[in-house]
Amino acid sequence: PAEFAKLNECPLDPGGYFIVKGVEKVILIQEQLSKNRIIVEADRKGTVGASVTSSTHEKKSRTNITVKQGRFYLKHNTLSEDIPIAIIFKAMGVESDQEIVQMIGTEEHVMAAFGPSLE
């Protein structure tokens, strides 16, 4: 506060702005999510989901994995409906539920979480 007084500044002024040609200018920080990285987080209800924002020079897209009623779904910004994750695996050439299980893991907690999605 004493330093402000020496500089003829108000000690109660919080700062954080600049005066340019007599006009106040404020710098706002804009957070941007990492591109092409999977982000796993919990929502307010504690439901865990994963998302990735993919980016090329031409396009941006966002893919989310969500859980509804104990089943995993894929949501993409170009699709109007959520798609069951088992259908996504099969569309990518995984032929059986056994192959899906081998890919995601056979641990008991993984099977307990993912099992309903295979029904």
Instruction: Give the residue among 37, 40, 36 at the shortest CA–CA distance from 72.
Output: 40
Write out the H or E segment, with its range, that includes residue 51.
strand 48-55
Each residue of 17-44: pLDDT tens digit? 888 899 988 888 777 777 888 999 988 8
Give me the pLDDT at residue 91, please.
Answer: 94
Domains of the chain: 37-117 (3.90.1110.10)
For residue 72, the SS3 value is strand
- Answer yes or no: are the C-beta atoms of 18 and 28 closer than 8 Å: no
Rounded (10°) CA dihedral 8, 10, 14, 15: -30
Predicted confidence band at 10 (pLDDT cuts at 50, 70, 90)? confident
Q: What pLDDT does 1 receive?
A: 67
pTM for the model: 0.66
Q: How much is the pLDDT for 74?
A: 95
Could you read off the pLDDT of 37-95 as tens digits, one per residue? Answer: 899 998 888 888 999 998 888 888 999 999 988 899 999 999 999 999 999 999 999 98
CA–CA separation, 114 vs 100, rounded Å? 10
The answer to whether residue 13 scores a pLDDT higher than 70 is yes
